[in-house]
Amino acid sequence: MTHADPTLSKAPAPLQISMDEYWMPFTPNRDFKHDPKMVVRAEGMYLWSDRGEKILDGSAGLFCVNAGHGRREIADAVGAQLRELDFIAPFTRGHPKQFQLATRVAELTPGDLNRIFFVNSGSEAVDTAMKVALAYHQARGQGGRNMFISRERAYHGVNFGGVSLAGMINNRRKFGPTLPGIAHMRHTHLKENVYTQGQGAQGAELAEDLMRFINLYGAENIAACFVEPIAGSTGCLVPPKGYLERLRAICDANGILLVFDEVICGFGRTGKAFAAQSFAVTPDLMTMAKGLTNGAQPMGAVAISERIHDTIMGAAADGSIEFFHGYTYSGHPGPCAAGLATLDIYRKEGLFERGAALSPYFLDALWSLKGLPAVADLRGYGMLAAVEIHPDSTPGRRGHALQKKLFDNGLHLKATGDCVIVSPPLIAEKSHVDAIVDILRRTLATI
Ligand code: PLP
């Protein structure tokens, strides 16, 4: 693909629109509306603001745009699909692309995670996976298993299931007691692993927290253990060596399902299709979204092991609905077309392999920031990394200020607390990595 011309010949006048009506998600609305950061165009590695400024996208939007922005193949596929079939009731009716996309996703998933349920977002994927876990245990006569184990600092979306699993305090503190029966293991951020590239040597024993909950609540009451293989939204916490393997072993020994939430990690971010393959640990259920359609259409999915699927199917009466769950837009024709076109691009351009090849350069370049006075830690794996800075007296305030300054200096990065998360599109060249690090270095010197 070609990259866009770096300059707009004529900077357009900033748009004159009302800022009052739209309530923005996960945004300090009053701050934004005071100094709006409007993006009006995107192509390849770049965004353009309404003032004509060119901004390098160092976070693939929000970990979505792995094949780069403005992919015409995806736009054309969606347009053609909507002209041919814009919508079909997803309950009791089907269209071919749902089945084709499920087959293509199943070709990428590890083990026997070959049954695919489509949803519209990562949050819906998480809630769907929770329901699949409960339905599975009911179907095999172990309906007492209705607790879930999650982890501190986890992000599993914003629906009530995901918020109940969540371990990021601001995402739960205003929303009441959430679902009962959820216990949180400790997170895996250890000071012993500060500045470690890849997996830290310390911390595998934190997986024993799962064993403690089994001893406390009884395995017969626990349905599933949810983890992000790399905790993304909290600032890229890479699992310590041996940690995921230990979780897998404990789950196996106790009849508990292991669920990997791969909404960020999936589709090449860790150098393979999924982090499960990068870390060689196969879960029983896997959630995904974001990179599934390159961010061009809203879509998520749950990959389910054949064993779990067959158990649920087998327990239902002939001709009955086996799983009372689904969304009006599950497997919508537009996102399905986008997903197929996206997976074609990933395959044709070898983007997962490309990310794996670029990763050492990417991580080394970021690690050149070590020692800057503002920098407190660097963490990373594959094409996903975080730069953590020292906070001031209000946690998150400096991170937010950094993110705004970076944008003004021509770099879009997702900030979380006092971290920025770097996850460029997998089409990135070394020169883009250099530019990201250069802008980071210059900006970090000013905060
Ligand atoms: N799970 C994980 C691990 C995520 O990182 C996210 C979003 O970043 C979600 C779930 C929620 O996805 P969505 O925002 O599409 O609902």
pLDDT of residue 116: 99
- Backbone phi, psi, residue 120, to 5°: -110, 0
Does ligand 1 come within 6 angstroms of the Cβ of 122?
yes
- The pLDDT tens digits along the chain (447 residues) read 444 444 444 555 666 799 999 999 999 999 999 989 899 999 999 999 999 999 999 999 999 999 999 999 999 999 999 999 999 999 999 999 999 999 999 999 999 999 999 999 999 999 999 999 999 999 999 999 999 999 999 999 999 999 999 999 888 899 999 999 999 999 999 999 999 999 999 999 999 999 999 999 999 999 999 999 999 999 999 999 999 999 999 999 999 999 999 999 999 999 999 999 999 999 999 999 999 999 999 999 999 999 999 999 999 999 999 999 999 999 999 999 999 999 999 999 999 999 999 999 999 999 999 999 999 999 999 999 999 999 999 999 999 999 999 999 999 999 999 999 999 999 999 999 999 999 999 999 998
Rounded-to-integer distance, Cα 144 and Cα 137, Å: 8
pLDDT of residue 5: 47
Among protein residues, the one with the nearest Cα to ligand 1's atom 6 is 157
Locate 26 and state its tokens.
């996960």
Q: What is the DSSP string of 255-301?
A: TPEEEEE-TTTTTTTTSSSSHHHHTT---SEEEE-GGGGTTSS--EE
SS3 readout for 305-356? CHHHHHHHHHHCCCCCCCCCCCCCCCCCHHHHHHHHHHHHHHHHCCHHHHHH
Query: Which of 264, 274, 294, 302 has the most ligand 1 atoms within 8 A of CB, as the residue to mutate?
Result: 264
End-to-end CA distance of the chain: 36
Contact 417, 348 (CB under 8 A): no
Burial of 27 from C-beta contacts in 10 A (0-12 / 13-18 / 19+): exposed
Residue tagged 């601001």 (tokens) = 170
Domains, the chain, in order of start with CATH, read 29-67+353-444 (3.90.1150.10), 75-348 (3.40.640.10)
Does ligand 1 come within 6 angstroms of the Cβ of 289?
yes
Locate 372 and state its tokens.
């800057």
Pick from 169, 168, 206: nearest CA to 185:
206
- Backbone phi, psi, residue 414, to 5°: -75, 130
Rounded-to-integer distance, Cα 313 and Cα 391, Å: 51
pLDDT of residue 9: 46
Pick from 308, 314, 300, 312: nearest CA to 282:
308
Query: Which are the contacts of 119, defined by CB distance < 8 A and separation ≥ 6?
Result: 125, 128, 289, 299, 300, 301, 302, 327, 330
- Triad 58, 187, 134: Cα angle to 5°: 100
Task: State the closest ligand 1 atom to the C-alpha of 265, by its place in the atom list counted from 1.
Answer: 3
Does ligand 1 come within 6 angstroms of the Cβ of 407?
no
Does ligand 1 come within 6 angstroms of the Cβ of 235?
no
* Residue 52, beta-bridge partner list: none
Contact 337, 298 (CB under 8 A): no
- Residue 157 C-alpha to ligand 1 middle, in angstroms? 4
- Triad 96, 102, 103: Cα angle to 5°: 90
> What is the enclosing helix (H) or strand (E) of 303?
strand 300-304
Query: Which of 62, 155, 226 has the most ligand 1 atoms within 8 A of CB, as the residue to mutate?
Result: 155
Question: Can you give the pTM of this predicted structure?
Answer: 0.96
Cβ atoms within 10 A of the Cβ of 142, count? 15
Q: Where would I find the beta strands (DSSP E) of 127-241?
A: 147-151, 182-185, 222-227
CA–CA distances in Å: residue 434 to residues 45, 102, 374, 382, 445 = 13, 37, 19, 16, 17
Task: State the closest ligand 1 atom to the C-alpha of 123, by its place in the atom list counted from 1.
Answer: 16
Query: Which of 65, 128, 290, 294 has the most ligand 1 atoms within 8 A of CB, as the residue to mutate?
Result: 290
Contact 223, 143 (CB under 8 A): no
DSSP letter assigned to residue 168: -
Rounded-to-integer distance, Cα 48 and Cα 14, Å: 12
- Backbone phi, psi, residue 37, to 5°: -110, 90
pLDDT of residue 6: 44
Pick from 240, 297, 233, 280: nearest CA to 261:
233
Rg (C-alpha) for the chain, rounded Å, is 22
Burial of 84 from C-beta contacts in 10 A (0-12 / 13-18 / 19+): exposed
